[in-house]
Amino acid sequence: MVFADLFFLYFFLPVCLIFYFMTRNLHIRNAVLIVFSLVFYAWGEPVWVSLLIISSVIDYINGLVIDKFRGRPLAKLAVIWSLIANLGLLVTFKYSGFIMENVNALCKTSFPVPKISLPIGISFYTFQTISYTIDCYRNKVKTQKNFFKFLMYVSLFPQLVAGPIVRYSTIGEEIENRRTTVQDLSEGISRIILGIGKKVLIANAMSGVVTSLFGESSNDFSPVATVSVSGAWLGAAAVALWYYFDFSGYSDIAIGLGRIFGFHFDENFNYPFICTSITDFWRRWHISLGSWFRDYVYIPMGGNRCSKARNFFNIMVVWGLTGFWHGASWNFVLWGLYFGVFLLIEKYIGKERINACPRVISHIYTKIIIAAGFALLHIDRTASVWEYFRALVGANSNPLTDHLTKTVFTSNIYILAIAVLFSMPVVPKLKEILMKQKGSAVLAQSTGVICNLGILALSSIMLVNNTNNPFLYFRF
């Protein structure tokens, strides 16, 4: 089941809310969330619910062991077992095929390549349960003694299948004690509608631009090799905008749903395209993943405390893993290492020198690097990656522009302009302007209601004939 679906919006969610708000008993409310979360997850892949529950049982027990044997070897053993079990599941279901393909290629062997379908959300909930176990060991969170409360944390449907990666420390207290205020309801509904609009009205349109220029399939080699220079850059920018509106739209819906149920998830995106450096970009993009790798990989490896050479190694390892987390393919690893290199360059140039650079130059530099890099998420074949970078500089003897690029650009100029405009903090600025007017509260509320109704109505119309509308990060 997906959020951008009429069945979810007009049946599943309303029924869930009715059962949830029928009582004020928090135990019953938690039970409602568990049942609906498991139904939500099982809707498309019922067999993988068992894997979700197994993962939950493993780290629930690990938490209890850590709490009982704190400061003793068994507590450390529980952390090690959590890492082995969770990463073992992740490697088995997500990376086993990739590993065997590369073993066969390197060793000239012919071992059978496993064909295992990827359980939706496994990259997210395994990272969540790992963070819980480690935080228990570090004594940063209280151990959850009730299995069903822990299962609710892991399976909570607003963020289950595509994040953000919600740490137990963020909502642990709210699992035990929470309430939904009128402000929570209002802001939650607005956030859900904003996310639906991002996905249905903008992200889906950007996917059409990318398909027109780079081909229907990310494995399709020929369009990437033959596209014009301007077409390659337009496609690259469209990929970056597509991923931003698709994933930030999902995060908005997840955060909005959380608010309705009384949970306050951390922000996952903070207008990343207004950045003036690649370092700043990654403080604003997929914040929950970046902070996870920082706290559970980079800092334990030594972080900034080690030598320059070791720090260089740490950063490249973290960004190689960040790319690999996104998918079992070399293009994802290259994507992570690509940004890792620029982060290293900025690190050794120094923040002061970067800040001294004219902001216009900083904006141009970052947008070129971001656009060129994000197309790697769409281009799966390694050979196509090389051809893509050649196309960006015209090294394929491809023309500066062509009829296809002109047609795609003119046909989508309005949606491209809207995407660029709303990738910036336009909405907060408009709210600020409205609040300065006479009768500002009423004006802001009425304007917000009208805009929300318009976005919801238009999105619903667009979804009528759209039977398959998955979010991009479902495959990660």
**For residue 66, what are the contacts with CB-CB under 8 A and spacing of at least 6?**
75, 78, 79, 133, 136, 137, 143
Interatomic CA distance for residues 135 and 29, integer angstroms: 26
Largest CA distance in the chain: 75
| Set 27, 264, 286, 326: catalytic member | 326
Contact 302, 310 (CB under 8 A): yes
Which residue from 390, 118, 413 is spatially nearest to 227, judged by alpha carbons?
A: 390
Contact 156, 38 (CB under 8 A): no
Interatomic CA distance for residues 211 and 235, integer angstroms: 9
Interatomic CA distance for residues 189 and 195, integer angstroms: 10
Interatomic CA distance for residues 82 and 86, integer angstroms: 6
List the Cα angle 118/301/290 in 5-degree steps.
50
Neighbours of 206 (CB within 10 A): 23
**For residue 18, what are the contacts with CB-CB under 8 A and spacing of at least 6?**
none
DSSP string, 5-35: SHHIIIIIHHHHHHHHHT---HHHHHHHHHH
**For residue 306, what are the contacts with CB-CB under 8 A and spacing of at least 6?**
314
Residue 326 catalytic? yes
Residues annotated catalytic, as ranges: 326
